[in-house]
Structure 1
Amino acid sequence: MAKQFASMGDMAEKKITFSEIGRDIWAFTAEGDPNTGVIIGDDSVMIVDAQATPRLAHKVVEKIRTVTDKPIKYVVLSHYHAVRVLGASAYGAEQILASEKCRAMVAERGQEDWDSEFGRFPRLFQGHESIPGLTWPTMTFRDKMTVYLGNRRVDLMHLGRAHTAGDIVAWVPDERVMLTGDIVEYKAACYCGDGHFSDWGNTLDNIKSYDPLAIAPGRGAALVGVEQVDAALDFTRDFLINTYRPAAAVAARGGSLKEAWDAVRAACDPKFSDVPIYEHCLPFNVTRAYDEALGMDTPRIWTAERDRQMWEQLQG
């Protein structure tokens, strides 16, 4: 009998940290679970990434109410993944903002992604009965959108494909703080199952060009100071290189997906085996790297059935 995905056995509650990374900019983090960013303006609050369920989103709201009573006006979706978006209803926001591509991906594969992630992350989806359905952006943009929270300006930008084709970042220029979603991770595995390895490095370069003083990454601790920011960008880049190159080498010689899995493990295990969700991400990362190396530009849609088939194939 095939063993389960690593995430299915991860049922321990994580310690929550709510830290200020710039004036009135906060990062809600939880030991490698999905992060949420909070930007407080003169008259309202913006959320960046909504959590997987209303139950988890209410934990974010509880933290917000310890620092401000201003209304939550905007929820920003950095991308379409279920663990990032399905808690959006709990905030009571006026607008849900995302890229045009993100909304298209909700339509194309949002339900399949929900079904897939639901089967792999039982802890994150506790209380799933309160999810009202797919989260649909109410306002979208192609490359850039500027939102004003009173006098505070927030630039929402698509800086290139990376974790998905529709990733955006939120840039707060008055504090030089960027909220990157899963484009950047710090001491937590990158999930690359819907990623674009060939573009991701350039997108990291585009983030670096803003010279951020702090970053709220998609997973892992908040990053304050240029040294930590650079360390996270380097960590993410190193993770991607060590995942893609071995898989691409196997694909180039006509090797199997199982051989790519073994090659990536040999490269990545010594460096990353102790970081959160590494074992969970690895099979999806290897499969996507192998597919991209074979010329598949658009990631295949993950479904609960495809998850099982891939996992059985990788275990031989």
Structure 2
Amino acid sequence: MAKQFASTGDMGEKTVSFSEVGRDLYAFTAEGDPNTGVIIGDDSVMIFDAQATPRLANMVIEKVRSVTDKPIRYVTLSHYHAVRVLGASAYNADEIIASDVCRAMVTERGQEDWDSEFGRFPRLFEGHESIPGLTWPTMTFETSMTVYLGNRRVDLIHLGRAHTAGDIVAWVPDAGVMFTGDIVEYKSACYCGDGHFSDWGGTLEAVRSFAPAAIAPGRGDALVGEAKVEEALDLTGDFLESTYRPVAQVAARGGTLKEAWDACRAVCDPKFTDYAIYEHCLPFNVARAYDEARGIDTPRVWTAERDRQVWEALQGQ
């Protein structure tokens, strides 16, 4: 197998969908690429996750302008990853909102993540020259915050650690719709390189407790209706369990990272090879699961160099 990131070969254009998931609520999706949520209130618009570049953000803005001319006043970031945040400048929003932990993670590892993801996802970073720099939240909160778009209420909530330590959701109670970021995926691999396997399942159950009528996930199709929501929550939970359990079993007996990789593939390949970004995520997921199983609570910082080292070590065996 070639020693390059699986995602570097994914250069084909994706088909964009702009799906209504509730009254004046939309999910911008693109065949497993990062999703963006659109929440339209009486007097303004909130964007949930900004895309990787201003070029991609402008594609979102074009879709927004097809349904409303209200000003985009807020950009909310579900977490700190570059593919979610670096397009924020295109919206010219009044405020950029995130959790306290998300902002701290931008400070701690934002540049390293940008450099890392730039190497992994060349297609998503086409037009990167227009990125003005790291995206810094202008408003943050610890556990919850409410924003009113006129009369429409949007609750921003940190339900627990999952995809990162600082993940938040946007809950729109008048419609019963939740924008989850990468806490929930639909038939797309979870990227777990900065994840917390021991907490993620509980965070999924916290999402479930809202009984959403619809979910806009981090990747994959918009999920409308109880059956689709439940399916996505179950599939996400199964992906996490199927990844972590065999790796933890290897770590418990003192096995190597390569043995953990083999054990994970034996369980996950039969289930998930058709999931978007599956091959790309595997080395990062196994490395993080192996660390967590050995008691390393805080994910190690991924740098471009560490990416290559882990990828080559596992792919080259």
State the TM bucket, normalised to the shorter chain.
over 0.9
Q: 1:178 is paired with a residue of what secondary structure? A: strand
For 2:281 and 2:2, locate their aligned partners in 1 and report how far apart those are by CA, in whole Å.
17
What per-residue deviation string (whole Å, max 9, x for no partner) do you get for residues 271-309 of structure 1? 000111000001000000000000000000000000111
Matched, 1:73 2:73: yes
Moved more, 288-297 or 306-315: 306-315
Matched, 1:120 2:120: yes
What per-residue deviation string (whole Å, max 9, x for no partner) do you get for residues 64-115 of structure 1? 0000000000000000000000000000000000000000000000000000
Q: 1:186 is paired with a residue of what secondary structure? A: coil
Matched, 1:39 2:73: no
Matched, 1:216 2:191: no
Match of 2:254 in 1: 254
State the one-letter code of the partner of 2:142: R
Matched, 1:283 2:275: no
For 2:312 and 2:252, locate their aligned partners in 1 and report how far apart those are by CA, in whole Å.
23
For 1:96 and 1:65, locate their aligned partners in 2 and report how far apart those are by CA, in whole Å.
20
How far residue 119 of structure 1 moved from its aligned partner, in angstroms, is 0.4
TM superposition outliers: structure 1 runs of 4+ over 6 Å: none
How far residue 2 of structure 1 moved from its aligned partner, in angstroms, is 5.1
For 1:53 and 1:266, locate their aligned partners in 2 and report how far apart those are by CA, in whole Å.
36
Number of matched pairs? 316
Q: 2:18 is paired with a residue of what secondary structure? A: strand
Give the unaligned 5+ runs of structure 1: none
What per-residue deviation string (whole Å, max 9, x for no partner) do you get for residues 160-207 of structure 1? 000000000000000000000000000111000000000000000100
For 1:245 and 1:115, locate their aligned partners in 2 and report how far apart those are by CA, in whole Å.
30
For 2:254 and 2:89, locate their aligned partners in 1 and report how far apart those are by CA, in whole Å.
47
Match of 1:237 in 2: 237
Identity, in percent, stands at: 79
Q: 2:110 is paired with a residue of what secondary structure? A: helix
TM-score normalised by L of structure 1: 0.99
TM-score normalised by L of structure 2: 0.99
For 2:46 and 2:312, locate their aligned partners in 1 and report how far apart those are by CA, in whole Å.
42
For 2:302 and 2:2, locate their aligned partners in 1 and report how far apart those are by CA, in whole Å.
19
What per-residue deviation string (whole Å, max 9, x for no partner) do you get for residues 23-57 of structure 1? 00000000000000000000000000000000000
Q: 2:240 is paired with a residue of what secondary structure? A: helix
Matches within 5 A, 1:178-193: 178-193=178-193
State the one-letter code of the partner of 2:219: R
Match of 2:266 in 1: 266
State the one-letter code of the partner of 1:291: D
State the one-letter code of the partner of 1:193: G
Match of 2:158 in 1: 158
Match of 2:104 in 1: 104
How far residue 312 of structure 1 moved from its aligned partner, in angstroms, is 1.9
Matched, 1:228 2:197: no
State the one-letter code of the partner of 1:262: D
State the one-letter code of the partner of 2:166: G
For 1:309 and 1:230, locate their aligned partners in 2 and report how far apart those are by CA, in whole Å.
37
For 1:312 and 1:72, locate their aligned partners in 2 and report how far apart those are by CA, in whole Å.
43
Give the unaligned 5+ runs of structure 2: none
How far residue 151 of structure 1 moved from its aligned partner, in angstroms, is 0.1
For 2:241 and 2:258, locate their aligned partners in 1 and report how far apart those are by CA, in whole Å.
19
How far residue 311 of structure 1 moved from its aligned partner, in angstroms, is 1.2
How far residue 313 of structure 1 moved from its aligned partner, in angstroms, is 1.6
For 2:218 and 2:311, locate their aligned partners in 1 and report how far apart those are by CA, in whole Å.
25
How far residue 152 of structure 1 moved from its aligned partner, in angstroms, is 0.1
How far residue 3 of structure 1 moved from its aligned partner, in angstroms, is 1.8
State the one-letter code of the partner of 2:46: M
Matched, 1:298 2:293: no
RMSD: 0.7
Q: 2:160 is paired with a residue of what secondary structure? A: coil
Q: 1:140 is paired with a residue of what secondary structure? A: strand
